Amino acid sequence: MSDKSKIYLFANWKMYLDYDESNILANAIAAQAKSIPTSVKMAIFPSALALYPVGQVLHDVGISLGAQNVYWQDKGGDTGEVSARMYKEAGCKYALVGHSERRHLFHESNSEVRKKLEAILDEHLTPVICVGETEKERAENKTEEAIEIQVRAAFHNIVWPKDRELIVAYEPVWAIGTGKNCDPIEAERMHQLIKKQVIALTGITPVILYGGSVKPENVAEYLKNPNINGVLVGNASTNLESWMNIVAAVR
């Protein structure tokens, strides 16, 4: 059984909040930080432009900062990109990689995900590798195959730094931002499968988060499962009340 002494609550603000909204929400969360149980590891993934000031506010209350995406080059003529090194300098501890919106809206391939993952590790950040099947793959009974391909591409022959946690987010594409969450029992089954595969590839026991339409009303149903170490939350993390209700569900 996985170690459940820590519960990971990771908030992906995507492009939902502008600069002012991000700072207002970060300050409001920081003001309530005393009500966050010590068992919770919280990280916020704001937009790139809001990241620095949000990080300053969160740092003082022990909440970590993460990047939503990185580019694999450190520096160069890569107009519009932001490197893992730059995110590290701005105060990030974590970086998402292979989020379904990156894979599907921006056509990121498994090999690009792998290059980003390696760049994140090189900069001493902790990657959160997102994997998930599409609705079509699930309908065609190809869920396990789809996940295995993504997990293998991310971890095959990788040298994992000894000082780094290995975090995977299981995020079924059909559940992201749709309001259709995955049945928690099915999510637990997928987490077991991912755990087995990651251990076979790396020898490391991963932390696995569930993501996909998590809300205050359903979060406890996920967290009670032995292999669900926490949640990655989009929409419901962008509002103070619903985020703090998700935090309250941990108790």
In the complex, minimum distance from the CB of residue 125 to ligand PEP, in angstroms, rounded to a whole number: 18
Among 202, 213, 227, 229, binds ligand PEP (CB under 6 A): 213
137 binds ligand PEP (CB under 6 A): no
Among 182, 211, 229, 247, binds ligand PEP (CB under 6 A): 211
171 binds ligand PEP (CB under 6 A): yes
- H or E element, residue 12: strand 7-12
99 is a catalytic site residue: yes
Among 233, 246, 247, 249, binds ligand PEP (CB under 6 A): 233
227 binds ligand PEP (CB under 6 A): no
171 is a catalytic site residue: yes
**84 in Cβ contact with 119 (< 8 Å):** yes
Pairing verdict, β 126-131 and 7-12? unpaired
Of 99, 123, 133, 191, catalytic: 99
212 binds ligand PEP (CB under 6 A): yes
Pairing verdict, β 207-211 and 94-97? unpaired
| Separation of alpha carbons 161 and 208, rounded Å | 18
Query: How many residues touch ligand PEP (CB under 6 A)?
Result: 14
Considering only CA atoms, which of 249, 246, 225, 232 is closest in space to residue 2? 225
177 binds ligand PEP (CB under 6 A): yes
Amino acid at 45: F
Among 9, 12, 25, 87, binds ligand PEP (CB under 6 A): 12
Nearer Cβ to ligand PEP, position 43 or 85?
Answer: 43
176 binds ligand PEP (CB under 6 A): yes
- H or E element, residue 62: none
The 3 state secondary structure assigned to 125-167 is CEEEEEECCCHHHHHCCCHHHHHHHHHHHHHCCCCCCCCCCCE
Residues tagged active-site:
99, 171
Binding site for ligand PEP (CB under 6 A): 12, 14, 171, 176-177, 211-214, 232-236
